[in-house]
């Protein structure tokens, strides 16, 4: 599954520096707006300790972790929805991602100018969210104008359903209420899916703090961001762009030592990926053997045939059964043979809902 998160933020909040560190790419990071003009895409490996165990057990020829795609999108300024800065080009890039990671400046540094002259994370958040809402409002109003007369004259239930939904969304957007905050039914979500509305996308706030504040994990600015995020049931990840920049050049062993010396258990990348996975309702299953051990991303709630289809569409079309053991059972028993002897290996059919950590062998008709 190709899954993407767009990293957004006002100019000079540390967005591109964080992106560089996260994806270990060296794109332009400059102390002025629009240093990143075109979206930069980085593929990152999803950290998973279970892969290490499977790799040691099977000693495969190939080890393939699952990946996540991060897109660094050019800095936004107030008025983007009206064409200011990079305007609609910026907004169009956001429409293509599955989730939004909004980087918020929560550090003081006289050497790095703020686009509005003063550090105020809530103002920054509201600036970006307002631009996204205005852009969505334009889409909604255009759609209402196209079908409004038809809805008024027609008795068609589907048209009335759509116009009622559009009006509900419009009223909320005008009050600065994001679509993701509305309790929409499955039918309502399905109807607006093709619109790629910006405020419908799940969001994580990434508070960029100083190295000193990373030790405690908060400061006066992050406390405000935490309170704001609670109002829309969003998560906040605290990271230091400076620390992440230093971490990206270290080996895994050196990284662990570095973090341990700082009294930090987990780097910003790991925290971000885990939070994004949770936000999007994602999980991981594995295929394992002497040729290859591989992790696969799927959405929670997917059934076995759908998950088989992630590997190849023929697997889903010809699905018969799935032979499955859980990672925890394999780890507890030590090897596949002992899992079978313990009666922990299962045959599951088309209605089986896949679970995180399942290790699968799919059987299908060719």
Total-model pTM:
0.82
- Collapsing DSSP states into helix, strand and coil, what is residue 250? coil
* Statement: residue 25 has pLDDT above 70: no
Structure tokens at 290: 């002497």
Place of tokens 């293509």: 96
Q: Give the integer Cα–Cα distance in Å for 180 and 185.
A: 12
Place of tokens 């045959």: 347
Please report, rounded to a whole number, the percentage of residues in the chain having pLDDT higher than 90.
51
Question: What's the pLDDT score for residue 256?
Answer: 84
Least confident piece of the model among 77-91, 260-274, 298-312, 316-330 = 77-91
Q: Give the integer Cα–Cα distance in Å for 80 and 76.
A: 7
pLDDT in tens, 69-84: 888 876 555 554 454 4
What are the contacts of 56-60 at 24+ separation with CB within 8 A?
Answer: 57/288, 57/330, 57/335, 58/288, 58/289, 58/290, 58/293, 59/290, 60/288, 60/289, 60/290, 60/291, 60/292, 60/293
Please enumerate in sequence order all residues whose Cβ is within 8 A of that of 72, keeping only pairs 6 or more positions apart, or say none.
7, 15, 16, 19, 27, 36, 39, 40, 41, 42
- Collapsing DSSP states into helix, strand and coil, what is residue 182? coil
Query: Is the Cβ–Cβ distance between 202 and 279 less than 8 Å?
Result: yes
Query: Is the Cβ–Cβ distance between 260 and 29 less than 8 Å?
Result: no
Confidence of residue 207 (pLDDT cuts 50, 70, 90): very high
Confidence of residue 110 (pLDDT cuts 50, 70, 90): confident
pLDDT in tens, 156-202: 888 889 999 999 999 999 998 999 999 999 999 999 999 999 999 99
Question: What's the pLDDT score for residue 82?
Answer: 53
pLDDT in tens, 26-40: 545 544 443 444 557
Kindly state the helix (H) or strand (E) to which residue 205 belongs, with its residue range.
Answer: strand 203-208
Structure tokens at 19: 């992106």
Confidence of residue 87 (pLDDT cuts 50, 70, 90): very low
Least confident piece of the model among 146-155, 221-230, 239-248 = 146-155
pLDDT in tens, 41-62: 888 888 889 999 999 999 999 9
Question: What's the pLDDT score for residue 306?
Answer: 96
Mean pLDDT score, 94-99: 87
pLDDT in tens, 252-296: 788 888 888 888 888 887 888 888 888 899 999 999 999 999 999
CA distances from 40 to 73, 172, 225 (A): 7, 33, 26
């Amino acid at each position: 599954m190709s899954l993407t998160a767009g990293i957004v933020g006002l100019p000079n909040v540390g967005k591109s520096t964080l992106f560089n560190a996260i994806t270990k790419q060296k794109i332009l990071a400059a102390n002025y707006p629009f240093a990143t003009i075109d979206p930069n895409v980085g593929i990152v490996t999803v950290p998973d300790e279970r892969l290490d165990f499977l790799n040691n057990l099977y000693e495969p020829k190939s080890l393939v972790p699952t990946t996540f795609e991060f897109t660094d999108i050019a800095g936004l300024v107030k008025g983007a929805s009206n064409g200011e800065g990079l305007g609609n080009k910026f907004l169009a890039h956001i429409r293509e991602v599955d989730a939004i990671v909004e980087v918020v400046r929560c550090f003081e540094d006289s050497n790095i100018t703020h686009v509005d002259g003063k550090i105020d994370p809530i103002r920054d958040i509201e600036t970006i969210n307002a631009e996204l809402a205005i852009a969505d409002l334009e889409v909604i109003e255009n759609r209402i104008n196209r079908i409004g007369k038809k809805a008024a004259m027609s008795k068609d239930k589907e048209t009335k359903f759509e116009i009622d939904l559009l009006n509900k969304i419009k009223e909320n957007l005008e009050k600065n209420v994001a679509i993701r905050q509305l309790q929409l039914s499955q039918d309502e979500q399905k109807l607006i899916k093709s619109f790629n509305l910006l405020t419908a996308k799940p969001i994580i706030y990434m508070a960029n703090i100083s190295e000193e504040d990373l030790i405690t994990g908060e400061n006066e600015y992050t406390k405000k961001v935490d309170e704001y995020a609670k109002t829309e049931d969003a998560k906040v990840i605290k990271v230091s762009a400076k620390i992440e920049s230093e971490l990206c050049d270290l080996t895994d062993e050196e990284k662990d030592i570095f973090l341990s010396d700082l009294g930090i258990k987990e780097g910003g990348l790991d925290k971000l990926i885990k939070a994004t996975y949770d936000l999007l309702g994602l999980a991981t299953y594995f295929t394992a053997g002497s040729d290859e051990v591989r992790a696969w991303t799927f959405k929670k709630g997917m059934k076995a045939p759908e998950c088989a289809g992630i590997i190849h569409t023929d697997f889903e079309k010809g699905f018969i059964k799935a032979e499955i053991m859980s990672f925890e059972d394999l780890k507890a028993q030590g090897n596949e043979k002992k899992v079978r002897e313990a009666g922990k290996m299962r045959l599951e059919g088309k209605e089986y809902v896949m679970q995180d950590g399942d290790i699968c062998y799919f059987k299908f008709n060719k």
